[in-house]
């Protein structure tokens, strides 16, 4: 019945993610994972430095205040924030909480995440800066 396939298939361009701002944001969000991984590396370097004595710790502090290092970490921080914000925004979509017959409204779930984020951040800062 079908004559030869004469349908037109639009090729997907290699830069499809640049076509719309929303796609770009999506790709940036996905790339945030690279900076998450970078943080793990950075953290392990810190731990290794601290555990091998004050001298190497000071070395680490010096290395970390190199302008390039700071620039990298500022970028990483921006990405990690992007990750956190988009992540919390997504949570109420996956989670449907029910207390009795009451369905916890999505906004409340969102607010709870931000609340927890604040508490945890303050606690961590307190432990470190105490």
Q: Which residues bind other proteins (CB under 8 A)?
A: 1-3, 6-10, 12, 14, 16-17, 19-20, 22-23, 26-27, 30-34, 36-37, 39-40, 42-44, 46-48, 50-51, 53-54, 57-58, 61, 64-65, 69-70, 73-74, 76-77, 80-81, 83-84, 87-88, 90, 93-96, 101, 103, 116-117, 120-121, 124-125, 127-129
Q: Assess contact for 121 and 115: CB atoms under 8 A.
A: no
Residues 90 and 109: their CA atoms lie apart, in Å, by 10
Report CA torsion sign: 67, 128, 46, 73.
negative
Residues 31 and 46: their CA atoms lie apart, in Å, by 23
Least distance to other proteins from the beta carbon of 109, Å? 12
Least distance to other proteins from the beta carbon of 120, Å? 5
């Amino acid at each position: 019945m079908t004559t030869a396939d004469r349908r037109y298939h639009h090729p997907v361009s290699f830069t499809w993610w640049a076509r719309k701002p929303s796609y770009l944001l999506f790709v940036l969000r996905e790339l945030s994972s690279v900076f998450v991984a970078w943080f793990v590396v950075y953290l392990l370097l810190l731990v290794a430095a601290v555990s091998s004595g004050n001298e190497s710790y000071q070395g680490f502090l010096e290395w970390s205040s190199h302008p390039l290092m700071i620039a990298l970490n500022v970028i990483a921080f921006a990405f990690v924030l992007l990750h956190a914000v988009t992540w919390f925004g997504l949570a109420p979509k996956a989670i449907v909480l029910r207390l009795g017959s009451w369905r916890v409204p999505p906004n409340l779930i969102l607010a709870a995440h931000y609340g927890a984020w604040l508490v945890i951040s303050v606690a961590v800062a307190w432990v470190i800066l105490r």
